Amino acid sequence: MRRVGGRGLARRVLPGTYFWQGNEACAEGAIMAGCRFFAGYPITPASEIAEHLAERLPQVGGIAVQMEDEMASLGAVIGASWAGAKAMTATSGPGFSLMQENIGYTFMTETPCVIVDVQRVGPSTGQATKCGQGDVMQARWGTHGDYASVVLSPNSVQEMFDLTIRAFNLAEKYRTPVVLLADEIVAHMRERVEVPTLDKIEILNRRKPKPNEKAFFGSEEIPPMPSVGEGFNVAVTGSTHDEYGYRYSADPVVHRKLAERLVGKIKQNAKTIVDFEGYNVEGCEVGIVSYGCTSRAVYEAVKLAKERRISVGFVTLKTIWPFPHDVVRALAQNVKVLLVPEMNLQQVFYEVERSAHGSVPVVPINKVGGGEMITPEEILAEVVRSVKAVD
């Protein structure tokens, strides 16, 4: 029987211009990145990813399966990754909550994989078909223990394609799980996507070990990753372990070394991982930090503010974690007030406030429920109000 998986480049995602739904673009981005295994469980508003991949993955020699629940979905992704495949799952809030234990496992074992969370109104069942942005802190801290999350935030259908590819690249490069934190609006809207020729797309693959190597879980910042069935006798475990994967359930030194490396490998490389879009960050009256669908309204608000002769700048987060503290801190030095619009009841707000470190007032703009976006007019109103308040 043929072996499936591996590092084959995408087939049949031909370069060109497409008109895609966000979820569709995410699925195609995964295929382009070399994803050849998907395991998922149906959940609104992410099901289209599973449906699309169920049809497309077999066409490129990949496998898509529906598992019995979200824990099994991520479990199968973990097994697939250790068998050598680039693997992905997709879910929303309730499923993301269920996956947390296995997410911790992927951190602890340094299993590369991509987890798509298409946010909806929460907590709990919430409003399945309505957009929310309330999973931000969960994406950072959802599972127990010490680890450093890598979380990407697309704000367009083009980014659903591009950032999915980036997610796989980061997962492979840093041997870590990467969350693509989308939202229902970006996932369900339809926009133009440009798919470039293959030579213009960077695709990274995990570093494989040399034949006699034995240390796959330490002894260097990002260790090489063997696959099972290659004769390496790899010992993968979620327990604390040394560089050979041997379990040490009591030794403080072994744990310290491991935990500090797991956190350090992301922290030390934060500058490379962090991605954002900045506008007018050198100096303006009002700075806005936003992400996901909300950032689309910010673009419009900036134009409206310009008409009123108020200069507005923004930082649109494309990685929420690691959080670009330096970038936001710099922005804080150059503005009179920072606004943080989000479709939740304050999450990124706390990070911005921390970055600003008291240098400027930080004002949250919050709206939840019914999938109602924060409108450009609402943002403008707060811009106007804040400018008056600080003058």
Residues contributing to the site for another protein (CB under 8 A): 1-5, 12, 37, 39, 55, 58-63, 65, 67-69, 71-85, 87, 101-102, 104-105, 227-229, 231-239, 245-247
To another protein, the closest distance from the beta carbon of 17 in angstroms equals 21
Q: Give whichever of 175 and 188 is closer to another protein, judged by the CB atom.
A: 175
Q: Give whichever of 232 and 314 is closer to another protein, judged by the CB atom.
A: 232
Q: Give whichever of 101 and 378 is closer to another protein, judged by the CB atom.
A: 101
Ordered DSSP codes for 305-371: HHHTT--EEEEEESEEES--HHHHHHHHHT-SEEEEEESSSSSHHHHHHHHHTTSS-EEEEE--STT
For 205-230, b where at least 16 C-beta lie within 10 A, e where not — what string?
ebeebeeeeeebbbeeeebebbbeee
To another protein, the closest distance from the beta carbon of 200 in angstroms equals 23
HSE of 217, CA atoms in CB hemisphere, 13 A? 28
Q: Give whichever of 101 and 277 is closer to another protein, judged by the CB atom.
A: 101
To another protein, the closest distance from the beta carbon of 231 in angstroms equals 6
To another protein, the closest distance from the beta carbon of 247 in angstroms equals 7
Which token pair is 94? 């309730």
To another protein, the closest distance from the beta carbon of 209 in angstroms equals 13
Q: Give whichever of 228 and 345 is closer to another protein, judged by the CB atom.
A: 228
To another protein, the closest distance from the beta carbon of 252 in angstroms equals 19
Q: Give whichever of 245 and 313 is closer to another protein, judged by the CB atom.
A: 245
Alpha-carbon distance 109 to 127, whole Å? 34
For residue 66, give every residue at least 6 positions away whose Cβ sits within 8 Å of its Cβ, in sequence order, or none.
39, 40, 41, 42, 50, 54
Tell how strand 151-152 and strand 319-321 pair up. Answer: antiparallel
Q: DSSP assignment, residue 20?
A: E
Alpha-carbon distance 280 to 282, whole Å? 6
To another protein, the closest distance from the beta carbon of 175 in angstroms equals 15
